[in-house]
Structure 1
Amino acid sequence: MNDKFYVTDCEGPLSINDNAYEISDFFIPEGGHFFSILSNYDDMLVEENTEGYLAGSTLKLILPFFKAYGLTEKDLIEFSEDNIFMIDGAYNMIKYIQSIMPCYIVSTSYNQYIKALSDKTGFIYENTYSTNLQLDKYDLNQEEQDKLLDIHDNILFDSSFENIHRIFTNVISKMEINNLIESVKPVGGIGKRDAILDIIDKNNYKPENLMYSGDSITDKEALEYARDNGGLSISFNGNIHSIESASISIASTNNLILAVIADIFNKKGKSAVYDFINDYNNESLETILNCSDNIEITQQLLVNKPSIDIVTNDNKETLNNMTKVVRDKVRGKNIGNLG
């Protein structure tokens, strides 16, 4: 099939949330800081190319502490439903792209959050991939609960890689609650690439017809797959990990530019998108007016002028500095600094 199709990460390109961080911050003492420590440990394991380790495994590592502080799936669902915050333009962007091409979300987020977000935005939930979590299936005995509460304090006191690695390798791995950790397979890193391959296989798509957008280390393999197979690979308000893996970098407080690019890609192909970017950087006003048929999208883009750049070996650090400002503004520094 020659149909174009769009696959996107959720947190970053669509929502400003980091759902797991926010759950931790709400339910666990000093939970935001604690989650950030585990996220940094997770990033180090990914960067060291630890065999068999999946990017996004912070969502596994935090789970024993969810149990220790009494969280249930009902808590996760209700919190997620009440705390969905979309980037400006996202509702119209989702509606528009779903009307012109097949659209999928591939997210490291828990399935409870993705279901809540789909219900709220009108996204087709059957077209989503996320980290499946069955939190209530696993019990925590009193002895292990007490030990985990002590471990929580220990990690806050000593957040070194060596201490955390010792705890998870020599202590938590020997606890019964470790079965909960082992039950979860995060859809991050190669998991996102595998989800794309599944989408392609099930629908007989061609890789070069893929448009993918992401913003973090969990999108690295998916962005590289799109880029290396002739598709459209977009880092949207991305950190250095995503910029280094993408062909295009966008910094914007509004994501409707993705709808414009999707429309061009769908109608005219990849080369037309690159022509649009070159024209846009020479004369943004005229280019937007010429390329967008949707009056509402055009008006919002003229007000919220995005930065759009083709990634080269020479500009990656410059783009990272540019997107960091927008990333922190849109998502806040605590979430913006997560890998």
Structure 2
Amino acid sequence: MITFFDLEGPLCPIDHAADVIALIGKKLGKEQDFYKLFQMISLYDDELFLVDKKKDYWPGDTLKLIAPIVVSFADEELLFKISQEAEPTPGAIELFQYLHQKEIPTYIISTSYAQHAHTITKKLNHPIENVRCTTLDFSLKPENTDALTPLFEDIFPRYLKDGMKEVKKDLDKFFFSDIPKSNFGAVFNSTVVCGGGRKRESVIEILEEHKLKASDSITIGDSITDIQMLEYVREKGGTGVSFNGNEYSLRPSMIAYSGKSIFPLTELISAFPNTSEFVSNLSKEEMSRKEEFFDVSLDINEEEFQRILLLQKKYRKYLRVKAAELT
């Protein structure tokens, strides 16, 4: 048996990159809330994947798009500071103690920058070598940041006023024509985000290293960046779990867990590989009393899907607060 975890959501409630961008806005003295700048780029990221179906583009590549901003106006110390101030998801430390005691191989596969992924992993007393994440090279920071001015001074204010439709074509030009040709080209092109299909590839590589099959695994995710690894594990006979997720993690999952703590996943893990049978036999009254809701999310009708999704979103908002709005 082997387990795979997304980081942000299942193991730490914050959206680290969003918090970094928000602090950069304050540092620059911008009137607009730069958290909304991140939301704009995140929404754009969704459109590139879901609507445009852009070739070789995966959800979570937001962290590639913001790389020029981060290297220009932040540093590694700031990235570490935000992460050090963040607490793990309730029950995550105890869950990892359980996994270590049972000697279950466990890997964290995250879109997050390494500064955040490694910091939270250390808080879980877990080995850094069992983390796959995104590397950002601060040595590629250019001296001149003028290439970012159109984003800050023109595109973002128009987005706040008129929405994504008004700026979509400008964002296409900015990110995929102007920035690659600018002095930010090196950092932009070198940032390879561990999201979407790259998470799936990490799962496949790790399974091969351990000489295990996907059917030997439980994979936990909560967002659009987890679709491909959840789908892969489910289709190959493993258990994909949506933890306080959204529609993007719920649809490809086999089990949904909604609650205030991630620790009850120990019960699901102990029941593996009979996870569906375990969930089907649980008392609805007992789950309601504890506010620990397990549901089978495979092959369900739309009404049942929406019922589970409401639960997922309720506890997602409870734990992730502002970050719950991001996909």
Q: TM-score, normalised by structure 1?
A: 0.87
SS of 2:54 mapped into structure 1: coil
Rounded Cα–Cα distance in structure 2 between residues aligned with 1:150 and 1:107:
30
Match of 2:128 in 1: 125
Q: Which amino acid aligns with 2:325?
A: N
Match of 1:40 in 2: 43
SS of 1:212 mapped into structure 2: strand
1:199-254 Cα shifts (integer Å, max 9, x gaps): 11111012110100000000000000110000011000011001011011111111
For residue 210 of structure 1, the aligned residue among 197, 212, 217 is 217
Rounded Cα–Cα distance in structure 2 between residues aligned with 1:200 and 1:209:
9
1:277 Cα deviation from its structure 2 partner: 0.9
Match of 1:60 in 2: 64
For residue 51 of structure 1, the aligned residue among 55, 58, 64 is 55
1:304 Cα deviation from its structure 2 partner: 4.0
Is the contact between residue 281 and residue 308 of structure 1 (CA under 8 Å) also seen in structure 2? no
1:104 Cα deviation from its structure 2 partner: 0.8
* Residues 238-247 or 308-317, more deviating: 308-317
1:126-154 Cα shifts (integer Å, max 9, x gaps): 1111111212x113232xx1331342132
Match of 1:327 in 2: 316
User: What is the 5 A alignment of 1:142-181?
Assistant: 142=144, 145-159=145-159, 160=164, 161-181=168-188
Match of 1:290 in 2: none
Match of 2:233 in 1: 226
Which residues of structure 2 form unaligned runs of 5+?
A: none
Q: Which amino acid aligns with 2:263?
A: L
Rounded Cα–Cα distance in structure 2 between residues aligned with 1:282 and 1:239:
22
- Report the identity percentage: 26
CA RMSD in angstroms comes to 1.7
Rounded Cα–Cα distance in structure 1 between residues aligned with 2:323 and 2:18:
8
1:123 Cα deviation from its structure 2 partner: 1.3
1:252-298 Cα shifts (integer Å, max 9, x gaps): 11101111111221xxx2x2x2222112145637xxxxxxxxxxxxx
Rounded Cα–Cα distance in structure 2 between residues aligned with 1:203 and 1:26:
41
1:260 and 1:154, CA in 2 relative to 1: closer, same or farther beyond 3 A?
A: same
1:86 and 1:303, CA in 2 relative to 1: closer, same or farther beyond 3 A?
A: farther
User: What is the 5 A alignment of 1:261-276?
Assistant: 261-265=268-272, 269=273, 271=274, 273-276=275-278
Q: How many residues align?
A: 309
1:133 and 1:67, CA in 2 relative to 1: closer, same or farther beyond 3 A?
A: closer
User: What is the 5 A alignment of 1:281-296?
Assistant: 281-282=283-284, 284=286
Q: Which runs of at least 4 in structure 1 moved beyond 6 Å after TM superposition?
A: none
1:303 Cα deviation from its structure 2 partner: 7.0
1:50-108 Cα shifts (integer Å, max 9, x gaps): 11102101111111112342x12232223322x22222111101111122111110111
1:50 and 1:281, CA in 2 relative to 1: closer, same or farther beyond 3 A?
A: farther
Is 1:134 aligned to 2:137, yes or no?
yes
Is the contact between residue 234 and residue 248 of structure 1 (CA under 8 Å) also seen in structure 2? yes
For residue 260 of structure 2, the aligned residue among 253, 259, 266 is 253
User: What is the 5 A alignment of 1:78-117?
Assistant: 78-81=81-84, 83-100=85-102, 101-117=104-120
